[in-house]
A and B are shown apart, each in its own frame.
Chain A
Amino acid sequence: DTGVSQDPRHKITKRGQNVTFRCDPISEHNRLYWYRQTLGQGPEFLTYFQNEAQLEKSRLLSDRFSAERPKGSFSTLEIQRTEQGDSAMYLCASILSGTRDQPQHFGDGTRLSIL
Chain B
Amino acid sequence: QQQVKQSPQSLIVQKGGISIINCAYENTAFDYFPWYQQFPGKGPALLIAIRPDVSEKKEGRFTISFNKRAKQFSLHIMDSQPGDSATYFCAASGGSGGSNYKLTFGKGTLLTVNP
Contact = CB atoms under 8 A, between A and B. Distances in A.
Given A42-B89, A106-B43, A106-B45, A56 B102 contact: yes
Contact of B105 (A31, A43, A56, A105): A43
Nearest to B43: A106
Contacts of B49: 101, 103
Contacts of B98: 50, 55-56
A42 B104 CA distance: 9
A76 interface: no
Size category of the A interface is: 20 to 34
Interface residues of B, number: 25
A95 B101 contact: yes
B52 to A, nearest CB: 13
B13 interface: no
A95 B105 CA distance: 17
Contact of B46 (A40, A50, A103): A103
Interface of A: 4, 31, 33, 35, 40-45, 48, 50, 55-56, 91, 93, 95, 97, 101, 103-109
